[in-house]
Amino acid sequence: MLTVTCSFAACGKDADTVNDQVTADVTADDNAAADTVTEAEEDVQDDAPEGFYHSELTNELIDESLKDQRPIAAMVDNELYALPHYGLSENADVVYEMMNSTANGRITRFMVLVKDWEKIEQLGSIRSVRPTNLILAAEWNAVVCHDGGPFYIDEYLAHPWTDHFSGTFSRVNNGKPREYTEYIVSGDLDRNFSSTGVSTTYTQYYEGAHYKFASESEPVDLSSASDAIEAASVDLPFPHNGSYLEYDESEQVYKYSEYGKAHVDPGNDNAQLAFKNLLLQSCDFEQLDEHGYMIYNCIASNQDGYYVTNGEAIPITWTKTTETSPTRYYDMSGNEIKINTGKTYVALVPSDSWDELEIK
């Protein structure tokens, strides 16, 4: 067993100015590294059949008509009572998991990115949003789907690049209290886009491709990296729900479990939530009040992380320079990493518990 220990430098002091310093902490060296990557030779992808293209979220082949369509970023409740989740195993392209509050055992919440949202039959349940989610959704130019949130979100909702739908989804009679009954169902998103005039296609604030993907014919193989470690399982320091991912060698994906059991989707034949790529980020945070509301300092540079795929992991660093700029991931030589085709799980691990992360 390997217990991962990583150092972390704090990247914010004042809750009122958290994430406002969108470029101040990025050094000339960081910019130089980014320039080096920009000048690198373009990746060569496998040819796409006529009528299809490689999704910017997963690199999987999807209908070309979706090329300019914005993804949604749905806030999904992760309390035990909210389970089972519907629609994640089938529809999610990228799933973020992060602490939602410093209270209640540091309970987490999912932010689910979906590119082809018109195929959703039922997704959720949907809950409130936090400032960190709005900052991260902005780097995808995603439309945030939620039900309210604390007043701390107001300044982020006011940004011209933020589009969102709040509390405008369907109620499903599942026998639970009302706060656990809101889901995105077929037709909800079409209705929201139509009634609000929010653009379904990428806006001027979209900064382009997010991840760098290896081609499917030449996938990433971390086993040859000098700093690679075995990663048959990943145990995250989220004490409330005990997030855990285990590598399935036969399917070559990491399967997600929490609360001591597999995360299954009754809307998709009880398929277990699974990912090809894991991006683990150590991230400082600020507690905003005595009620546990908090914000991650997710605009930062040269922070610790791990990239995990196909049973191996390598240490990385991550950098995000502005609210709308994508988070970039670099190996220990300063090269932007490539990831494999498929779904990606991103965990923002509080820096004060980063040394409790277990990769073994």
> Which has the minimum average pLDDT: 214-218, 300-304, 347-351?
214-218
Judged against a pLDDT cut of 90, whether residue 82 lies above it is answered with yes
Judged against a pLDDT cut of 60, whether residue 13 lies above it is answered with no
Residue 279 pLDDT: 99
Which two three-digit tokens encode residue 192? 């929201």
Judged against a pLDDT cut of 80, whether residue 186 lies above it is answered with yes
Residue 43 pLDDT: 56
Q: What is the mean pLDDT of residues 47-66?
A: 94
When pLDDT is cut at 50, 70 and 90, the band that residue 141 belongs to is very high
Q: What percent of the chain has pLDDT over 70?
A: 88
274-291 pLDDT, tens per residue?
999 999 999 999 999 999
How far apart are the C-alpha atoms of 9 and 7, rounded to whole Å? 7
| Beta-bridge partners for 258 | 261
Residue 26 pLDDT: 42
Q: What is the mean pLDDT of residues 225-246?
A: 97
When pLDDT is cut at 50, 70 and 90, the band that residue 209 belongs to is confident
Q: What is the mean pLDDT of residues 150-171?
A: 97
Percent of the chain that is helix, strand, coil (3-state, to 5): 20, 30, 50
Q: What is the mean pLDDT of residues 21-27?
A: 40
Q: What amino acid is encoded at 27 in this protein?
A: T
- Determine the straight-line distance between the first and last CA of the chain, rounded to whole angstroms: 5
Is the peptide bond preceding residue 219 cis, with omega within 30 degrees of 0? no
- Give the mean pLDDT of the chain: 90
Judged against a pLDDT cut of 60, whether residue 32 lies above it is answered with no
How far apart are the C-alpha atoms of 171 and 168, rounded to whole Å? 9
Which pTM does this prediction carry?
0.88
> Which has the minimum average pLDDT: 21-30, 115-124, 198-207, 318-327?
21-30
Q: What amino acid is encoded at 1 in this protein?
A: M
How far apart are the C-alpha atoms of 165 and 144, rounded to whole Å? 6
Residue 145 pLDDT: 98
Which two three-digit tokens encode residue 227? 């700093």
Which two three-digit tokens encode residue 318? 């991550």
- Tokens 């499903």 sit on residue: 172
Pairing of strands 294-296, 261-262: unpaired
- Torsion angle in degrees (nearest 10) through CA of 251, 256, 261, 267: -80
Residue 47 pLDDT: 82
Judged against a pLDDT cut of 60, whether residue 42 lies above it is answered with no
How far apart are the C-alpha atoms of 151 and 101, rounded to whole Å? 15
Q: What percent of the chain has pLDDT over 90?
A: 84
Residue 346 pLDDT: 99
When pLDDT is cut at 50, 70 and 90, the band that residue 44 belongs to is low
Question: Is residue 279 classed exposed, middle or buried when 0-12, 13-18 and 19+ CB atoms within 10 A define those classes?
Answer: buried
Residue 142 pLDDT: 98
Of residues 33 and 295, which shows the higher confidence score?
295
Residue 5 pLDDT: 39
Judged against a pLDDT cut of 80, whether residue 205 lies above it is answered with yes
Domains and CATH numbers, the chain: 15-44+55-60+67-359 (3.50.90.10)
Q: How many CA atoms lie within 13 A of 354 on its CB side?
A: 21
Residue 48 pLDDT: 83
Q: What is the mean pLDDT of residues 80-99?
A: 97
Q: What is the mean pLDDT of residues 248-266?
A: 97
Contact 93, 113 (CB under 8 A): yes
Q: What is the mean pLDDT of residues 332-336?
A: 97
